[in-house]
Amino acid sequence: MALRRFRNADRRGSASALVIVGLANPGAEYEGSRHNVGGDAVRLVAQRRGVRLSLESRQRALSGSIPTPRGLVTLAVPITFMNESGAAIPPLLRRTSLGDLTHLVIAHDELDLEPGRLQFKLGGGLAGHNGLRSIASALGTQEFSRLRIGIGKPPTKEQGADYVLQRPTGARKTALANLVAAAADALEILLDYDFDDAQRRVNGARD
């Protein structure tokens, strides 16, 4: 597969070897929802690594960087709503001087994976995910990397929006918190290993 590159003529920040973006809706009413697992996982990585996610001038994402054996890694969570996630990506890539889109990793909830399953993937379809669709539109390609975080399907297709936006309670809340922690573990593998190694370590793992 040919590498897809982001035309980054206006680069102005310190170059990052990797940019990891977690998708989520902003606002207290969406905290703890299934749709926010990507953003929650990135925030947890930042917390574990002592990285403060802050809003830079003219950016549309909270972000922070950490030195790793691979080089500087930027963690980010858009402040846009999910279906406008793409608006945050080009400014972020310019600030981090990232041109190779295989080094952009989007962490997101995935209905087509059973609950608790994690999968690193390069490129592929959008599976009706509005955040991914917005990012693909902004970049002009779907050939960026992803961490798919399995949340399973709702009982019926008509219940899809309620299913991803609701905040589980009881045992389901605990299971979701465990899923976020596992997704953060997977993202931390990328801080020390390349994407192919991360795929082998994460995609083949089973409970």
- Tell me the catalytic residues: 35
71 neighbors 100 (Cβ within 8 angstroms): no
* Secondary structure string (H, E, C) spanning 162-187: HHHHCCCCHHHHHHHHHHHHHHHHHH
201 vs 207: CA distance, rounded Å: 13
Q: How many residues does the chain have?
A: 207
58 vs 205: CA distance, rounded Å: 40
